[in-house]
Amino acid sequence: MMKKWVALFCAALLALVVGCGKDAGQGPSAKKDGKPALTVGLMPDTDSVPFIIAREKGFFEAEGVEVTLRPFKSAMDRDAAMQSGQLDGAVSDLLAAAFALEGGFDVRVTSSTDGSYQLVAGKGVPVSDVRSLAGAEVAVSRNTIIEYVTDRILGENNMASDAIQKVSVPQIPARLEMLQNGKLTAATLPEPMASVAVANGCKFLTGSGELGINPGVMLFSAKAAKEKKDAVKAMYRAYNKAVAYLKSAPREEYIGLAVEKGGFPEAARHVLKLPDYRPVSLPKEKDVEEVMRWLREKGLVKKEYSYKTVVAEDCLP
C-alpha cells in the first residue's frame, strides 16, 4: 500500500512540474483581458519615459492594447529575458539586434529611439577634455551601445579604442554610484543618469547628441513583429500620444511620474532634461551601417547584416 501511495505522489508531482514548465515556456500571452497584449522591456533611461507616460495616462488602453512594461538595470539581463521568450520587445540598440541575429535568435528593429549617452568625468578629476582621459579608467558596459558610443567618441578625438582602460560595469545604477564615489576617472552614462552625475559635481565631456550618433532602437522578436503587428502599431499610436503630451504638458505635471516609474534617482527630479522626442520613425541606414561596421571591425559578429535584414519597415502606424 505504501508503495502505491508513493507512486501516486510521484506521478502527481511530475504532472505539476510538467505543467509549470509548460506555462513558463509559453512566453508573453497573445491577449490579456480580451485585448492584444505585449510585454516590453525598459532600461533606466529617457527612452523609457514615453512608454511610462503612455501607460500611466491610459494611452495604451485607449488604443486597445495591453502593454506590460518590465524594468531592467542592465542590457545583459534585458537581452537574456528577450531571448528566453519573456519579452515581445524592448527598448534596445542596434548592437543587441546584431548579437541576437548572430546567435540565431530572429529579431527585428521596428523604430529608432531618442535617448542620449554622455561621457562624464568624476568629481574633482583633473581632466579638461576627452584626450585628457588617455590611460584612465573609464566605466562602460562591454559590447553594448555604451561601449560603441565610447569608441565613437574616442575616434572623433583621434584616439584608439584601447587608449583608455575600460572597466566593465554592466548595471547603470552601479556605474553612476562608482563614478560619484570617486572610484572611476570617468564613465559613459545614459540620460538621466549623466545629468544626475553632473548635478552632483561630475563634469560633462561630450556625448552622442553632439556627434550625431543614434544607435538606440525599439526591438521586437521577429515572431512578435509578424504575429502581433497590429498590437505593435497600437502601441506606437499610444507612444505618439505620449510624445505629443510631453511636448505640451508643463514639466511639473509629468516629472514626478517619470522619475518614480522610470527607476531614476530622486535627484533626477530636479535635473532631468528630456530629449525632444519625435513621433516614431525608422532608423537611418547610415546609423545601421556604422554600427555593423564597428561590430565587424571588433570581431564581434561574423556575418554582415544589411538594413533590410535588421529593420522591419511595416510595424509603424
What pLDDT band is residue 95 in, cutting at 50, 70 and 90? Answer: very high
CB 63 within 8 A of CB 235: yes
* Top-ranked range on mean pLDDT: pick from 56-60, 192-196, 208-212: 56-60
SS (H, E, C) 77-133: HHHHHHHCCCCCEEEEEHHHHHHHHHCCCCEEEEEECCCCEEEEECCCCCCCCHHHH
Is residue 128, in this structure, part of any structural domain at all? yes
166 vs 215, higher pLDDT: 166
Alpha carbon 293 to chain centroid distance?
21
Strands 216-221 and 117-121: unpaired
* pLDDT tens digits, one per residue of 245-296: 999 999 999 999 999 998 888 888 888 888 899 999 999 999 999 999 999 9
Closest CA to 140 of 164, 170, 120, 184: 170
C-alpha cell at 246: 510631453
Closest CA to 278 of 242, 306, 313: 242
Which H or E element spans position 157?
none
CB 200 within 8 A of CB 123: yes
Is residue 276, in this structure, part of any structural domain at all? yes
Decide: helix, strand or coil at residue 41. strand
* Mean pLDDT score, 5-14: 36
CB 30 within 8 A of CB 36: yes
Q: 295: domain CATH number?
A: 3.40.190.10
29 vs 267, higher pLDDT: 267
Say what the pLDDT of residue 270 is: 87
Mean pLDDT (the chain) is 88
Is residue 81, in this structure, part of any structural domain at all? yes
Q: Distance from first CA to last CA of the chain, Å, rounded?
A: 65
* Mean pLDDT score, 178-193: 93
What pLDDT band is residue 137 in, cutting at 50, 70 and 90? Answer: very high
Whether residues 42 and 182 fall in one domain? no
Interatomic CA distance for residues 41 and 79, integer angstroms = 9
Out of 181, 196, 211, pick the residue that ends a domain. 211
Whether residues 99 and 244 fall in one domain? yes
* pLDDT tens digits, one per residue of 32-70: 666 789 999 999 889 999 999 999 999 999 999 999 999
Is residue 50, in this structure, part of any structural domain at all? yes
What DSSP line would sit under 245-274, residue for residue? HHHHS-HHHHHHHHHHHHT--TTHHHH---
Q: Which residues are CB-neighbours of 298 under 8 A, at least 6 positions away? A: 161
Asked whether the predicted pLDDT for residue 5 surpasses 80, the reply is no
Phi, psi (deg, nearest 5) at residue 32 = -140, 125
* Mean pLDDT score, 143-153: 94
Whether residues 222 and 207 fall in one domain? no
Whether residues 158 and 168 fall in one domain? yes
Say what the pLDDT of residue 213 is: 86
Say what the pLDDT of residue 10 is: 38
Asked whether the predicted pLDDT for residue 302 surpasses 90, the reply is yes
Domain range for residue 158? 117-211
Say what the pLDDT of residue 273 is: 81
Closest CA to 253 of 245, 241, 261, 265: 245
Decide: helix, strand or coil at residue 33. coil
Whether residues 230 and 193 fall in one domain? no
CB 95 within 8 A of CB 143: yes
Burial class (CB in 10 A: 0-12, 13-18, 19+), 191: buried
Is residue 79, in this structure, part of any structural domain at all? yes
Is residue 8, in this structure, part of any structural domain at all? no
234 vs 15, higher pLDDT: 234
Q: Which residues are CB-neighbours of 24 under 8 A, at least 6 positions away? A: none
Say what the pLDDT of residue 107 is: 97
Whether residues 230 and 280 fall in one domain? yes
Instruction: Count up the domains in the chain and report the number.
Output: 2
* Mean pLDDT score, 91-104: 94
Q: Percent of the chain scored above 90 by pLDDT?
A: 74
